[in-house]
Structure 1
Amino acid sequence: MDSTDHSVLKTCIDWLAAGHRVALATVVQTWGSAPRPLGAWVAIRDDGQLVGSVSGGCVEDDLIDRVKRDILTQALPQSVLYGVSRDEAARFGLPCGGTLRLVVEPHPEADVLRRLLERTTEKKLTARVLDMSTGKSTLHDADRSDTLTFDGRTMRAIHGPRWRLVVVGAGQLSQYVAQMALGADYEVVVIDPREEFAAGFGVPGVTFSRGMPDDVIAELGIDIHTAIVGLTHDPKLDDMALLEALKSPAFYIGALGSRVNTAKRKERLLEFDLTSEQIDRLQGPVGLFIGSRTPAEMAISILAEITAAKYRVPVLQRRSIPVPQLIERARSIDVLTTA
């Protein structure tokens, strides 16, 4: 899969190289229930063809008309506002009271865009700073805490994988999760020291490590923009990863396993230098409960839960049993199977 960022960049560069005039529009401010986040962008060709989205389809038709009729004739970037009034929001199909401001560049610089594509392909988080008074832009290093800013004179947009997903395990499920995460614009790191799994893993764009999970996670510099999920189904590897992950500021930590096995895992983790509060951060069984059965469906549920955690949306689909009951059930199963 390819991220939206790269798709817009690649297509815009190709159109400019082919001699087309192209306008590049970026969401720089939103109010109310705006349908797309800050930084979402779209490239519109002189014949009306477009790639990307700034509103999920609500304002694109009007924006195409403005680009063809007026914006491409301008020398400098324009600020365009949609949905000022409730009537206008309804006209453009914006959610109730939603408003968004766009910066539209009638002459994006092909050289700058090519360098931006090179940097983001190399997973370098990059800030593109646009001077509205000249239409010129420059590229600078950025970090995961940076966000888009716009003060009317300068737009500073962040490009590249601001969010990161660390997957422990290189099985079939991990391949689906990695592919979907790349499409959602995550930087993806997969860890698996097992030779038989490492040899069969081949997802372009993923950083692969054969180190031990706890060592690799300790070296990665986990931050609040990182999610970690254990998918080996091997407690020796997943638990090693969790020992480091649960002490980190990662915004999401999950591991594959049934509710009973999750309870047993949490009981095991209590024997190490982890607090109950840290262990309570572990999500398991991993993924939203959507009845998934195939690896691809399970990957959808996992990415859905990670997305909910990313945006701090309460998860309502989870089926849960109090941990003490699960631990008691797990112990009774152990007694039955060893008797």
Structure 2
Amino acid sequence: MEDLDTLVLRTALRWQATGLPVVLVTVARTWGSSPRPPGSLMAINGRGETVGSVSGGCIEDDLIHRIREGGVQAACATDTPAVLRYGISADEAHRFGLPCGGTVELVLEPVSSRSRLDELLQACLQRRSIERRLDLRTGQVELRDGRRDGVPRLDDTHLATCLGPQARLIVIGAGDLSRFLCQMALGLGFEVVVCDPREEHRASWELDGVVVSREMPDDLILRLRPDARTAVVALTHDPKLDDLALIDALQSDAFYVGAIGSRRNSAQRRERLHMHFDLPEAALQALHGPAGLYIGSKTPAEIALSIMAEVVAVKNGIRRPSPTPVVTGKSLHENPGYEVT
């Protein structure tokens, strides 16, 4: 499943290719509370069809009404971008469904060959982070290397936004837990790869939208070279497989590296990686083990939920979620789903 930014870009290009006028809408700035963060994208075609969102729905309804009543020109007075602000007054905030005091500033861009959306989409698919600089006076676009998590910048003449590769999840081990984890990751817009060299585990494992690899885990990690938009989770409980993946993943740019197991097994894993593979303490500190947030998990589906919640938290900038609760000296995370001796 594609992430939302990729879906918006691809849909806008498809509409344009069929001859429909298209407007790309970007949340450039917000003040106070707002439903969608800066950088959020939406596309609207000349029929009023939309993909993506910039609010809870009311701003979209107003933009659709404008386009249906007066065409794309009603949203953009010329064939160049326009800046539109919603929620300046309390009445407008109420009318457009914005939270109290919320204001959102949008840039509306008529899509054309100047927009270079095809090049931007291709760069994202190549896992490159790109800064897109839109000239508000001419509609011309400049593309250059940038940061995926950069904050949009708007001034009198330009809008600069940052886009990049889809978040990716690499799962070591094909099983029930990995199936639930992958389903959740797909729903959240992650690109998902499952690696398991064990034929008996891999033979019956299949999930639409997931790439399944028979490579050894270390070979896969070295080939894919995890970047800052990649998470790696080891689920086999087999040190011969999990450790191979973790050694290389912990020395990559992956934003999250985790492995399941009890607290005891996790401690043994850390000692093993340090003693036998000479991994430095700084790398071991980045290992999430046991993987997942404490939610009282007892089934594969619940454990998958706890792991995915932690992955998303770290992706969103929460580097160290709250530590696992301990009762009478034992981690509450040591439940039947995690305890493997």
2:149·2:162 contact (CA, 8 Å) conserved in 1?
no
Equivalent residue, structure 2, for 1:304? 309
Structure 2: any 5+ residue segments left out of the alignment? 335-340
Equivalent residue, structure 2, for 1:235? 239
Once the two structures are TM-superposed, the CA of residue 207 in structure 1 deviates from its matched residue by 5.9
Once the two structures are TM-superposed, the CA of residue 321 in structure 1 deviates from its matched residue by 5.8
Which of 99, 102, 108 in structure 2 is aligned with 1:98?
A: 102
Equivalent residue, structure 1, for 2:44? 44
Equivalent residue, structure 1, for 2:27? 27
1:27·1:100 contact (CA, 8 Å) conserved in 2?
yes
* Letter paired with 2:154: F
Once the two structures are TM-superposed, the CA of residue 185 in structure 1 deviates from its matched residue by 4.1
Post-superposition CA distance 1:186-237 (Å, at most 9, x none): 4444433334445555556656654433454356544544322112222221
* Residue 157, structure 1, aligned to residue 161, structure 2: yes
CA gap of 1:233–1:13, structure 2 versus 1, over 3 A, is: same
Tell me how far apart the structure 1 counterparts of residues 253 and 13 of structure 2 sit (CA, whole Å). 38
* Residue 82, structure 1, aligned to residue 95, structure 2: no
Which of 152, 169, 182 in structure 1 is aligned with 2:173?
A: 169
Q: Which moved more, 1:53-62 or 1:204-213?
A: 204-213
Q: Which moved more, 1:190-199 or 1:97-106?
A: 190-199
Tell me how far apart the structure 2 counterparts of residues 321 and 309 of structure 1 sit (CA, whole Å). 25
Equivalent residue, structure 2, for 1:9? 9
Aligned length, in residue pairs? 327
Structure 1: any 5+ residue segments left out of the alignment? 330-336
Post-superposition CA distance 1:275-295 (Å, at most 9, x none): 556434332332233455554
Aligned pairs for 1:1-339 within 5 A: 1-68=1-68, 69=70, 70-85=74-89, 88-109=92-113, 112-142=116-146, 144=148, 148-161=152-165, 163-198=167-202, 202=206, 209-218=213-222, 220-248=224-252, 250-272=254-276, 273-274=278-279, 278-292=283-297, 295-313=300-318, 315-316=321-322, 318-320=324-326
2:114·2:139 contact (CA, 8 Å) conserved in 1?
no
1:214·1:244 contact (CA, 8 Å) conserved in 2?
yes
Identity %: 48
Tell me how far apart the structure 2 counterparts of residues 86 and 214 of structure 1 sit (CA, whole Å). 57
Tell me how far apart the structure 2 counterparts of residues 152 and 187 of structure 1 sit (CA, whole Å). 37
1:214·1:240 contact (CA, 8 Å) conserved in 2?
yes
1:34·1:55 contact (CA, 8 Å) conserved in 2?
yes
Tell me how far apart the structure 1 counterparts of residues 212 and 144 of structure 2 sit (CA, whole Å). 27
* Letter paired with 2:216: M
Tell me how far apart the structure 1 counterparts of residues 125 and 218 of structure 2 sit (CA, whole Å). 27
CA gap of 1:98–1:168, structure 2 versus 1, over 3 A, is: farther
Equivalent residue, structure 2, for 1:332? none
* Letter paired with 1:243: I
Once the two structures are TM-superposed, the CA of residue 247 in structure 1 deviates from its matched residue by 4.4
Tell me how far apart the structure 2 counterparts of residues 139 and 295 of structure 1 sit (CA, whole Å). 43
Q: Which moved more, 1:173-182 or 1:238-247?
A: 173-182
Once the two structures are TM-superposed, the CA of residue 26 in structure 1 deviates from its matched residue by 0.9
Tell me how far apart the structure 1 counterparts of residues 17 and 224 of structure 2 sit (CA, whole Å). 38
RMSD over equivalenced CA pairs, Å:
3.7
Tell me how far apart the structure 1 counterparts of residues 169 and 156 of structure 2 sit (CA, whole Å). 34
1:164·1:226 contact (CA, 8 Å) conserved in 2?
yes
1:144·1:163 contact (CA, 8 Å) conserved in 2?
no
Query: TM-score, with normalisation over the residues of structure 2?
Result: 0.76
Once the two structures are TM-superposed, the CA of residue 78 in structure 1 deviates from its matched residue by 0.6
Once the two structures are TM-superposed, the CA of residue 317 in structure 1 deviates from its matched residue by 8.6
Tell me how far apart the structure 1 counterparts of residues 249 and 126 of structure 2 sit (CA, whole Å). 25
1:39·1:148 contact (CA, 8 Å) conserved in 2?
yes
* Letter paired with 1:79: V
Where 2:265 maps in the other structure, the secondary structure is helix
Tell me how far apart the structure 1 counterparts of residues 301 and 62 of structure 2 sit (CA, whole Å). 37
* Letter paired with 1:92: F
Query: TM-score, with normalisation over the residues of structure 1?
Result: 0.77
2:148·2:162 contact (CA, 8 Å) conserved in 1?
no
